[in-house]
Structure 1
Amino acid sequence: MTRGPLISTRFDGSSTADEVAAGVDLRGLRAVVTGASSGLGAETARVLAVAGADVTLAVRDISAGARVADRIASRGACSRPAVAAVDLADPGSVARFARGWDGPLHLLVNNAGLVTPGLERNEQGWELQFATNHLGHFALAHLLHDALARGAADRGAARIVAVSSTAHMRAPVDFDDIHFEHRSYDPQIAYAQSKTANSLFAVEATRRWAADRIVANAVNPGGIRTGLQRNFTQRQRESLDAAEAAGVFTYKSVEQGAATTLVAAVAPEFEATGGHYLDDCREAYTVPDDADLTAHSHGVKRWALDPDAARELWSMSLATLEL
């Protein structure tokens, strides 16, 4: 795959989401942020709302979402965000959310994420991390496609931001056994393939929906201490601590972590181009598939940008979800 020069911005790993959005007028822009009841999602929603966007918090816990919406409204937002229920592990819940959406959509931030300490499955029998982190977001974007296309007609382009992770470097998508029906379960590998899938979704969504002027980009927020880590295994915690001690990465604040999401969401450099993986507020360089994760806190593996794998994942996702 031939790629042009990497896209850079004036921001870096120390930038905050507020700095990225400073001076940006988002009045009239309608945005959905999944997983916005805490952490990165709540910060992303706050910054978008303060910049003038009409934001919907798509959350499992309506009460927690309402508390975040009230807090955002009290912190300078142009309007209080709406709150709507969606359980990404439940295809029926995703479909209900999409049916309830009315009018154009200009920005979809697929931020929600799940980590499990052991093998769990949803009602359909799908491995829960993949079902939530990829399939739920895939279904949401697919079902909101027409709304995104109308949003693009409004503003010249619509954007999707898929929140991935450095963890994608641990594993590609195993198309022979995605749901761990035959291989031994490793929660780190399961999480890794779901994060690789987030990046592959951005590649194929951009290709398929180019004529509709919908672009999708994946982002790595960096190492951040959020509620996502509450289910990390001891092995995962030790791995992170060792990487930090070795200087492979430095923990970011939530405000810094949300900055790369905001770059993909509002920066002019990514308004009309997609299929990229962003890291520290700019397009990431590519590293070999055999690169050791313990030696890399930045970059994107080739398997997460592979157009053939992206097409296969898209077809598999449609078939699995019966869309």
Structure 2
Amino acid sequence: MRITTPFDATSTAAEVVRGIDLSGKRIVVTGGASGIGVETARALAGAGAEVVLAVRDVAAGARVAADITRTTGNGRVTVRPLDLADLASVRAFVAAWAGPLHVLVNNAGVMACPEQRTRDGWELQLATNHLGHFALADGLRRALAAAGGARVVSVSSCAHVRSPVVFDDLHFERRPYEPWSAYGQSKTANVLFAVEVTARWRDDGITSNALMPGGIATNLQRHLGGATYMAQAAERFRKAGRSLKTPEQGAATSVLLATSPLLECVGGRYFEDCNEALPHDGTSTVDGVAAWALDREAAGRLWTLSERAIGAR
């Protein structure tokens, strides 16, 4: 049965978490120093959670943490370094973690950037958006299991309809690099990850869902022309009967998946505008979930390849 909620595209993160007490809960938000990550962390802290901003730029993270504390009155907002494109950084973050983890919000990402490779030779978008988050979640599995009923939230995108995971050439070694195809593949990987986490880790009480936050003007568009790109995006959304969102609205679906009692024990699904998405109809580029993103066989295959890539035990 499709999951629906009282919220929609206009709802804000603060609205979806209103009335929910997160006191005693520990939450990690990757990329929490910019864009919708800031408003995701602010809403969670406002509800009483202990929030860790896992960020590359620790100074920027410290400024955001101080602002969140000022606006929410919650002094339990801290910053830890994390570079998802660097496995050593991910492993250091995991090694430093102690105690349970109730929610992991895999929010950080890069979009449609020029071709780049990590020190492991991975294409940067797949490395950052999927493999780094995969390694982080894998490393924190015991902490998530210890929390009881933990949730992993994966921020995907409507761009997942641009490409399935191309298993015979994940890193564009034999095909010409195309920024949007690479981004689309990485966003499909985010959904497949949520599908497989729920299947594999359910006995540990861990579930995962993925989401499309909406069209929001943030630093994510820096490789695409910024304001010019967003004007074009606004037109695409308008044709689909939608509007661009504020960062507070863009964070709403992430916060919903992280906290709502309506999502208790629910996993392996893809949400947009605070409701489970309908199947992609093959025409729109801004809504719906592609069948390839929910394919269990593909999810299992990606999991195996990801384990091999990060050297998981």
Name the TM-score, length of structure 1 as normaliser.
0.93
Partner of 2:310: 321
Residues 1:228 and 2:220 are matched in the alignment: yes
Q: Deviations over 1:249-291 (max 9, x none)?
A: 3101101110000110001111211001011101111125xx1
Distance 1:237 1:47, change over 3 A: closer
Decide which of 1, 6, 11 is 2:2's aligned counterpart. 6
Distance 1:119 1:296, change over 3 A: closer
Measure the CA separation in 2 of the matches of 1:264 and 1:170: 24
Q: Deviations over 1:89-144 (max 9, x none)?
A: 00010000000000000000000011243210011110000000000000000000
Measure the CA separation in 2 of the matches of 1:105 and 1:229: 31
What secondary structure sits across from 1:286 in the alignment? Answer: coil
Decide which of 6, 12, 17 is 1:16's aligned counterpart. 12
Q: Please report how far the alpha carbon of residue 247 of structure 1 lies from its aligned counterpart in structure 2 after TM superposition.
A: 4.1
Q: Please report how far the alpha carbon of residue 240 of structure 1 lies from its aligned counterpart in structure 2 after TM superposition.
A: 2.3
Q: Please report how far the alpha carbon of residue 245 of structure 1 lies from its aligned counterpart in structure 2 after TM superposition.
A: 5.0
Amino acid at match of 1:298: D
Q: Please report how far the alpha carbon of residue 246 of structure 1 lies from its aligned counterpart in structure 2 after TM superposition.
A: 2.8
Measure the CA separation in 1 of the matches of 2:58 and 2:164: 34
Give the stretch that moved more between structures: 38-47 or 238-247: 238-247
Q: Please report how far the alpha carbon of residue 297 of structure 1 lies from its aligned counterpart in structure 2 after TM superposition.
A: 2.0
Measure the CA separation in 2 of the matches of 1:178 and 1:281: 31
Decide which of 275, 291, 296 is 1:302's aligned counterpart. 291
Partner of 2:173: 181
Measure the CA separation in 1 of the matches of 2:76 and 2:82: 19
Q: Deviations over 1:7-62 (max 9, x none)?
A: 01111111000000111100000000000001111110111011000000000000
Instruction: Check conservation: 1:36, 1:112, Cα contact below 8 A.
Output: yes
Partner of 2:274: 281
Instruction: Check conservation: 1:278, 1:284, Cα contact below 8 A.
Output: yes
Decide which of 155, 162, 168 is 1:170's aligned counterpart. 162
Partner of 2:124: 128
Decide which of 72, 80, 104 is 1:108's aligned counterpart. 104
Distance 1:64 1:298, change over 3 A: same
Decide which of 193, 200, 218 is 2:210's aligned counterpart. 218
What number of residue pairs does the alignment pair up?
311
Measure the CA separation in 2 of the matches of 1:238 and 1:22: 32
Decide which of 68, 72, 75 is 1:72's aligned counterpart. 68
Measure the CA separation in 2 of the matches of 1:239 and 1:300: 22
Partner of 2:152: 160
Instruction: Check conservation: 2:27, 2:52, Cα contact below 8 A.
Output: yes
What secondary structure sits across from 1:109 in the alignment? Answer: strand
Instruction: Check conservation: 1:117, 1:233, Cα contact below 8 A.
Output: no
Distance 1:245 1:9, change over 3 A: closer
Instruction: Check conservation: 1:276, 1:283, Cα contact below 8 A.
Output: yes
Decide which of 131, 136, 143 is 2:139's aligned counterpart. 143
Measure the CA separation in 1 of the matches of 2:177 and 2:81: 30
Identity between Structure 1 and Structure 2 (%): 51
Instruction: Check conservation: 1:248, 1:297, Cα contact below 8 A.
Output: no
What secondary structure sits across from 2:309 in the alignment? Answer: helix
Amino acid at match of 1:176: D
Residues 1:311 and 2:300 are matched in the alignment: yes
Gaps of 5+ in 1: none
Instruction: Check conservation: 1:72, 1:80, Cα contact below 8 A.
Output: no
Residues 1:39 and 2:28 are matched in the alignment: no
Instruction: Check conservation: 2:221, 2:229, Cα contact below 8 A.
Output: no
Measure the CA separation in 2 of the matches of 1:240 and 1:309: 30
Q: Please report how far the alpha carbon of residue 299 of structure 1 lies from its aligned counterpart in structure 2 after TM superposition.
A: 1.2
Measure the CA separation in 1 of the matches of 2:52 and 2:200: 26
Q: Deviations over 1:195-227 (max 9, x none)?
A: 000000000000000100100000110100011
What secondary structure sits across from 2:51 in the alignment? Answer: strand
- Equivalent runs, 1:84-95 vs 2, <5 Å: 84-95=80-91
Name the TM-score, length of structure 2 as normaliser.
0.96
Instruction: Check conservation: 1:20, 1:262, Cα contact below 8 A.
Output: yes
Measure the CA separation in 2 of the matches of 1:118 and 1:233: 13
Amino acid at match of 2:223: N
- Equivalent runs, 1:201-216 vs 2, <5 Å: 201-216=193-208
